[in-house]
Structure formats: structure tokens, C-alpha cells
Amino acid sequence: MSAPAKAPVDSLRELRSLLPADAVLSGPEIGEEYSHDESLTEPARVPDAVVLPETPGQISQVIGWARERRVAVTPRGSGTGLAGGATPRSGGIVMSLQRMNSILEVDPANGVAVVQAGVTLCALDEELAGHGLMYAVYPGEMSATIGGNIATNAGGMRAVRHGVTRHNVLGVQAVLGTGVVIRSGGKYVKVSSGYDLAQLLIGSEGTLGVVTEAILKLIPRPAASATVLAPFAGLNRAGDAASALLARHAPSVLEYLDRMSMAGILASESLSVSIPSGIADAAGAYLLVMLDDCTDERLAQTVESVGTVLDGCGALDVYVLPAQVAANLIRARERAFFAAKAAGAGDIIDVVVPRAQMPAFLDRVEEIAAGAQTMVVGCGHIGDGNVHLSVFQQDPATLTQVVAKIYAAGRALDGAVSGEHGIGTAKMRYFLEHTETANVDVQRHIKAVFDPGGILNPGALFPAVMPA
């Protein structure tokens, strides 16, 4: 890679000439929100400028300017990321996609929507509800943008049935680090025509290009759904039950919560799920299962059968939750991150392992935590082998050791550092440590082709290349 992205923005005049008058913010015009994302570990940094482009052409111009001046450009959606990916570099600019927020087309005949990258999941869902359709990707934070979801390959609760972002995005338009605008993919579910650049951009965390537009796969909204909650004596039993369930059924959501997580989210949202105290006291972990179907009759049969499977796997009981209780509990589970943050979590980890390895992984985490007098509380997408572990440890050195050991435990069980939150800047060290060197080398070469100046999100995924 030839050039860094480190120079301070020494003149904003040129930059202002490329964009509408109100589309460049500097000094006190820059809101606090542009200095960070939701990562618990990455320090906030105020950028030298925030640009608010409205067209791919404007983005291309700004990238050309930044490349010439060797200024770092950090693409930004809504800043809900958990890995420091949207946290700006010192002396760099933030490129917010917030003004590119139009739903360009809902096309039921082809089962797709065409949207600009700054559209939020919430706005998209509201629009699609009117068509009886939905976009299946459902990360816990609905204020996130489609561009941010694409950049992180976001997953969420429905991935167990419908896959993650890369399985639901059919096409992408992006401006590369060269300033060139490319399109890849289209309104079709299959393509066998050369390298799939859309798939390469998905999960690239703003390091290869700025995503400007996407073609999204849509599915019908479910006609009938039910939510089942099953307490188990321990995590091992819950893990085995999840595997048994997936061997027979295709739930739309399959989450686990350990005892502390359940207590934490119920308390922070002032909720009750009315489980008898004898059972709640004996419960070490819970499975939360959502089932969708096209008729109430079929749904009732599935619920019955799921109950039998869970019962046979040692559930202490099986509860079909009233619709409002279920909605509240799912919402509370989505907000588990904020409950952990408020309780003082030092880090949140989203290791992924093959799903049958989850019980072994969680056993290992328990050992690591006990050995370091650290509290580790977990919940997450058990059907995907993807945990969200909140690590509570006041001492920074011990926190780092515990976190490092958990990543190593994930790797030892053939897992990966991040299942869905991405690497960003926060997990770069662990990504480099736990990914084969040959693999990382190819990724660096790809980066150099897409972004020869190294200006796009330097320091995310790989260390920024600094000048000689």
C-alpha cells in the first residue's frame, strides 16, 4: 500500500467547494455523536470535518480530494457499531451517509427493495409493512443503516433462519478508494458472472469502498407467530436442546440467555415473565424460541412439537408467552447491550464457534472467568454459535487477559473472533492473531487494489500504513 491517511485537514476551503454549502461541518458544528460508535473500549476522537454527501458523484470527489491530501475518511451510518469501526482517525474526516436515506423502489414482483445506504432498518421496515413484506436481517438496533449493516455483515436474531446480511443483499453500488463508482449484482438471486464484488464489499467495514446503494431481498411477513421460553438447569442442557431443536425445526429466532443475563434484562426493562419462583431459582439458562408460520393451525402444531423436543431435552418447563410479554422480552433481549453497559461491562465479545461447540466454549469461558475472578455474563444467537459475552472486570490488565483468553478459546474450537459485530479497530489485534497469515496477506492485497491510498477507514481490520 502506497500512502497513509494521517495528514490533518489543513484546509477546508477546497473540501467545501466540492459539496453544497451546508454539507461540510467543522469545529463546533461537529456534533458529539460523530466522534464515536457504541464500542465500550475505543476512545472517542473528534474528526477535523464531517461531510454529508448526497450523491455518489460527491463522494467520489471527496475521496479524490482526500487521496490527494492523504486524509483518512471514515464512512459512517448511524454509529451503532460495537467495534470502533466508525470512530474517526485523528486528523481525518467522517463521511456520514445520513442524507442518502431514500427508499428508491419497493419491487414486489422481483421481491426486492432498492435503497440508499443511509436508510435505517426502522424506516425500511415501516415502508415494507405496508406491502406485507420484510427484510429479514434483524440486528438488535433498528436505528442502524443498511450501509452500516452491509459494512459489518450484520446478523441478528433472525440469522438462524434467514442468514446474515450477505445472504440478503443481492446488489451493491459503491465508491471505491480510487473514486471509481462500481455496481455489482442485481435484482436476481443467482449470478455466475465473474468475481462477486458485492460480496467482497459486504463485511469490508468501510475499508474498500463507501456503499451508496443496495438491492435487498424481501420475504413475506409471517402471518402467524408464537414465542416459547424454556428454562434449563444449565447452559449445557440448553445448548444440546438448541441442536436437537434445529435438527427438526426452523425457528425464526433461537436465542439463549444465561441466568444473569435474564435477570439483568428483566430488571433493566422492569419486566416480568411470570415464571414460578421454584423454576426460576433452578434455572441456569433459558432458550427463547420464536416460530413463524403461514396459518394459526400449522403454527399450533409446530409449537406443540417444539415443546415436546424441549421437554425431552430437559427443559424445566416450557412456556408459550402471551404476545405482548413476548414482544417485551425480545425487545429487552435486543437491549441487553445497554443493560450490560449500564452495569459497568468493560468489554463485549461476539465470538462465533460451530454451533455444536457452544457448550464446550461456554464451559471454557466459565473456567477462564473463575480463574481471573471476573464476571462474564452471556446471551446471544445460540442457533448460530454466536455468543455475546459481557466481561465485568475493573482492572484493565486483567480485562485484557481475560478477553484474550476467550478469543483463544474460540479459535481452539474452530471459531472466529467476530460473528457479526466486525473487527473495527477494537478487535484488530485478535483478528490478526487468530487469522492465518496467508489469508490476511491476500486481504491486504485486495485492500491495496480497492484503496491504493489507504485512506478508507485506516486502522480498521489492519494497522494504518504510515508514511516513511
Ligand X SMILES: Cc1cc2nc3c(=O)[nH]c(=O)nc-3n(C[C@H](O)[C@H](O)[C@H](O)COP(=O)(O)OP(=O)(O)OC[C@H]3O[C@@H](n4cnc5c(N)ncnc54)[C@H](O)[C@@H]3O)c2cc1C
Q: Which residues bind ligand X (CB under 6 A)?
A: 37-38, 74-82, 85-86, 97, 117, 139-141, 144-145, 147-149, 151-152, 154-156, 205-206, 210-211, 334-335, 337-338, 420-421, 424, 457, 460
Distance CA 421, CA 347 (A): 13
DSSP β-bridge partners for residue 133: 220
In the bound state with ligand X, the residue whose beta carbon lies nearer, of 76 and 162, is 76
Q: Minimal CA–CA distance to 203: which of 423, 361, 20?
A: 423
Residue 106 has a CB neighbour count (10 Å cut-off) of 17
In the complex, least distance from residue 348 CB atom to ligand X, rounded to whole angstroms: 9
Contact predicate 42/36, CB 8 Å: yes
Which residue has 438488535 as its cell numbers?
140
In the complex, least distance from residue 107 CB atom to ligand X, rounded to whole angstroms: 22
Distance CA 375, CA 150 (A): 33
Q: Minimal CA–CA distance to 443: which of 462, 423, 464?
A: 462
In the bound state with ligand X, the residue whose beta carbon lies nearer, of 117 and 275, is 117
What burial letters (b/e) apply to 59-91, b meaning 16+ CB within 10 Å? bbbbbebbbebbbbbbbbbbbbbbbbbbbbbeb
Distance CA 155, CA 69 (A): 36
Return the C-alpha cell found at 143.
Answer: 436505528
In the bound state with ligand X, the residue whose beta carbon lies nearer, of 76 and 364, is 76
In the complex, least distance from residue 451 CB atom to ligand X, rounded to whole angstroms: 11
In the bound state with ligand X, the residue whose beta carbon lies nearer, of 231 and 458, is 458
Q: Which amino acid is at 88?
A: P
Residue 463 has a CB neighbour count (10 Å cut-off) of 12
Distance CA 311, CA 362 (A): 22
In the complex, least distance from residue 297 CB atom to ligand X, rounded to whole angstroms: 32
Distance CA 281, CA 316 (A): 11
In the complex, least distance from residue 115 CB atom to ligand X, rounded to whole angstroms: 11
Provide the H-helix boundaries in 22-117. Answer: 56-69
In the bound state with ligand X, the residue whose beta carbon lies nearer, of 144 and 275, is 144
In the complex, least distance from residue 319 CB atom to ligand X, rounded to whole angstroms: 23
In the complex, least distance from residue 369 CB atom to ligand X, rounded to whole angstroms: 22
Distance CA 285, CA 59 (A): 48
Extended beta strands in 191-279, E state: 209-217, 219-220, 224-232, 253-258
In the bound state with ligand X, the residue whose beta carbon lies nearer, of 237 and 421, is 421
In the bound state with ligand X, the residue whose beta carbon lies nearer, of 148 and 264, is 148
Return the C-alpha cell found at 26.
Answer: 467543522
In the bound state with ligand X, the residue whose beta carbon lies nearer, of 275 and 423, is 423
In the bound state with ligand X, the residue whose beta carbon lies nearer, of 310 and 339, is 339
Residue 436 has a CB neighbour count (10 Å cut-off) of 8
Which residue has 420475504 as its cell numbers?
219
Q: Which amino acid is at 452?
A: P
In the complex, least distance from residue 345 CB atom to ligand X, rounded to whole angstroms: 12
In the complex, least distance from residue 263 CB atom to ligand X, rounded to whole angstroms: 18
In the complex, least distance from residue 202 CB atom to ligand X, rounded to whole angstroms: 10
In the bound state with ligand X, the residue whose beta carbon lies nearer, of 76 and 161, is 76
Contact predicate 225/136, CB 8 Å: no
